[in-house]
Chains A and B, each alone.
Chain A
Amino acid sequence: DSGVTQTPKHLITATGQRVTLRCSPRSGDLSVYWYQQSLDQGLQFLIQYYNGEERAKGNILERFSAQQFPDLHSELNLSSLELGDSALYFCASSVGGSGGENEQFFGPGTRLTVL
């Protein structure tokens, strides 16, 4: 158990819909990262927040957005869902956010299925 929690574990929805994935980092960690993992793409970095502020942005679609709240939990919002958005979405946390930390702790993931 990494100490990172993600809800829900599974999510099944239809194309065109909007969903929200939730992540709580390990106690004391200020950074939250979001990743998308699909069979043919591996682990793709989406976005990082550090202490409530966006810190780094990866290959995140405009239909996707995220935020980190004052209690440090984070939410990833996915809208206008397409079949290709079906994937495992991981949240990870780390202590720092400036790039000096090397270890990220991953949550169990949310499996999103878009029908």
Chain B
Amino acid sequence: GQSLEQPSEVTAVEGAIVQINCTYQTSGFYGLSWYQQHDGGAPTFLSYNGLDGLEETGRFSSFLSRSDSYGYLLLQELQMKDSASYFCAVREHRGGSYIPTFGRGTSLIVHP
């Protein structure tokens, strides 16, 4: 079954703050990553959390709580160009290999 759960859609207005949550169930957890994908485009890496806490990169921040198997991506000062799909991803250690697993993605719609 699906190892990661994230909301299918989130809407917000320009200038606002939005949080996209991700919960996971994996064996051999090795960190949580976030990717952004615009319609028809390639996924691009946003951030990575290997340890608990907050990582900040400009308007984007990502948080991880390993005890809760939970993380989130926080987007501040939303802009229209932030309308895209956002994927959380983990690497699971299975059978001696590291398997990248992506959530189904959250479609963020930013309104003017």
Contact = CB atoms under 8 A, between A and B. Distances in A.
Nearest to A105: B45
Given A33-B100, A45-B102, A56-B98, A106 B93 contact: no
B100 A104 contact: yes
A107 B42 contact: yes
A20 B62 CA distance: 38
Contacts of A104: 45, 100
A104 B43 CA distance: 9
Contacts of B93: 99
Secondary structure class of chain B's binding surface, majority of residues: strand
Interface residues of B, number: 23
Interface residues of A, number: 25
A43 B48 contact: no
Nearest to B32: A102
Interface of B: 30-31, 33, 41-45, 48, 50, 87, 89, 91, 93, 97-105
A33 B105 CA distance: 19
Contact of A102 (B33, B43, B44, B103): B33
A45 B101 contact: yes
6 A-B pairs with least C-beta separation = A99-B98, A56-B97, A106-B42, A102-B48, A43-B102, A42-B104
B98 to A, nearest CB: 3
Given A58-B100, A102-B31, 15 more contacts: A41-B104, A42-B104, A43-B43, A45-B99, A58-B99, A90-B42, A92-B43, A99-B30, A99-B91, A102-B33, A102-B45, A103-B48, A106-B44, A108-B41, A109-B42
A60 to B, nearest CB: 11
B99 A56 contact: yes
Contacts of A35: 102
B42 A57 contact: no
Nearest to A4: B42
B97 A57 contact: yes
Nearest to A102: B48
B33 A103 contact: yes
Contacts of B97: 48, 55-57
